[in-house]
Each structure stands twice: as structure tokens, then as C-alpha cells.
Amino acid sequence: MATPTLSKHSVPGALGQILIDVRAGGRTSVRPAVVVLHGFKGFKDWGMFPPLAERLAQAGFTAVSLNLSGSGVDDAGEFSLPDRFAHNTFSAELDDAGRVLDALTKGELGVPSPSTLGVIGHSRGGGIAVLQTARDPRVRALVTWSAISRVERWPPDQRSAWREAGHTEIRNARTGQILPLYTDVLDDIEQNADSLDIEAAAGRVAVPWLIVHGTEDESVGFSEAESLEAASTRKKTRLLPIEHGGHTFGATHPWRSSTPQLDTVFDATTEWLAAHLK
């Protein structure tokens, strides 16, 4: 198998350009592809995502990772686009996911249209992955890590204060940056409740689905994984608890090394996709 190489691309997104990395062991052969969606405050070069993409490429997949247009993050991994982050919404992320899948399946990302297609989503990206898979027949396998089961993440008193001020502030623990978040996301949740209902979408996922979640996730409780499993009606849905696992399974940014928990997640994810896409 050829050594994986990296190419960089961009396509127009809902809030600006979507920055895309494509890793593949062969640039001319048709192979299965996997699209990786990051979560809130995440980006394609955060900690575990480049090693994951490299692992997928070495396993024979075309690995497509990206910065959603509302991530606020540039290709150097810096939050240099705060206005995009401030206006980001769930619907914008879902629109971006569809645009990337369109570009990939049309052969516009430097590789042929894939033979089959899978999606991995982490945290908020996991919720987007469920929504996209439920509506997109091109997706043939799904893996979610630490996925949210609902888009309503903020209590009523916080939403009220947020609307009164016109924005709320999000602190980036890694950089110390204070990032504004306008009311666009609240409007989106209220106006598009049906199309953003993740649990309802889970019931429509018709492809093999691996739900991976740490039992001690400090950001998205394990109960949300149980809710997704309960909402799924398919026999090919599997919940994989990662005992004592946190939100990123021990991975940090900058990347240092893997952990036994993350090794388990990588192995299970690769095996799942290999079984259902090849």
C-alpha cells in the first residue's frame, strides 16, 4: 500500500471557506472515504484528529478532516476568525457537512469519488454526523465519539441573559481567548427545532452505527450516548462504553501521545469502518 500523502483544499461554506485536509495512500485509485467532523471549539488539527486521519489513511481509507466554516480557526490552528465563530449555528455546520460530502463525491478534493462513504463525528460534530447520516443516503457507516444527543445546551436563565446582552462569552481554556457568541445559534435552535432534532434523526439512521462514549465524560454525559442508543431502532447500532473515559479519551492539544483509552477508540473505529465500508 502506498504511503499516505496530505493535500489541502477549500470549498465555500455557510460562513466562509471550509478548510479541508485529505490524506490518502493513493491519489488515483478508488477507495472508501471517511469524513471527520470536529466539535465545539474543535478543529481538524486538534490533538487526536491528525493521528486519527493518518491511521485511517494507512488502513486504506481516504481520510477527510476539516475546519467547519464557523469554527473560527485558520489553517495554522489559531482562532483568528472570531466573527465566524460568533455567528456559527448548528444549521451552518450541517450545511457545511453536506457541502464537503458533495465536493468529495464529485471528485473535487484531489481524489476520485469514493467507492463507499463513512462519517465520524466528535461531540457537537457527532450530533451533526447523526443529522447528516439520517438524511444522506451516500453515508454507509457512522461512528460517533462523545456525541451530543440534543442541541439545547444552555439553561433558560443563561439564554435569557444572553439575549439581553446580545452575546455571551466563551473562554478558550487552551489560549485564554474570550470569544463572543451571538444569538444566531439560539435563533437557529428555535426556528429549526425539527430539522435539528438529533434523537429523532437517530431513529432514522439506517446504517451501521458505532456509538463511542466515555463513562466519565465531563462535557457530554454518558446518558446522552444511552439516549442515542435508545432512539436508534437498528440492530446494527452498538454502544461502546469507554470505562473511566473522558471527553477526548485522554487526548490533549498539542498532541503528545496516545492513551490506552484512545487506542481502544481508534482500533474499534477503524475495525467498524473496515467491516462496513470495504
- Residues 220-245 have pLDDT tens digits of 999 999 999 999 988 899 999 999 99
Distance CA 15, CA 89 (A): 10
**pTM given for the model:** 0.98
CB 10 within 8 A of CB 38: no
The residues, any chain, with a CB within 8 Å of residue 218's CB and separated by 6 or more, are: 246, 247
Percentage of residues in the chain having pLDDT higher than 70: 100
Set of cell numbers at residue 141: 457507516
Distance CA 118, CA 140 (A): 6
DSSP annotation of 2 reads: P
The residues, any chain, with a CB within 8 Å of residue 263's CB and separated by 6 or more, are: none
Angle at alpha carbon of residue 124, lines to 127 and 145, rounded to 5°: 75
Set of cell numbers at residue 50: 491528525
CB 25 within 8 A of CB 3: yes
pLDDT value at residue 172: 84
- Residues 83-130 have pLDDT tens digits of 999 999 999 999 999 999 999 999 999 999 999 999 999 999 999 999
In this structure, the number of other CB atoms found within 10 A of the CB of residue 226 comes to: 15
Alpha carbon distances (Å) from 119 to 16, 72, 98, 183, 226: 22, 22, 11, 29, 20
Q: Which among 62, 50, 51 is positioned nearest to 4, based on CA atoms?
A: 62
DSSP annotation of 242 reads: E
pLDDT value at residue 26: 84
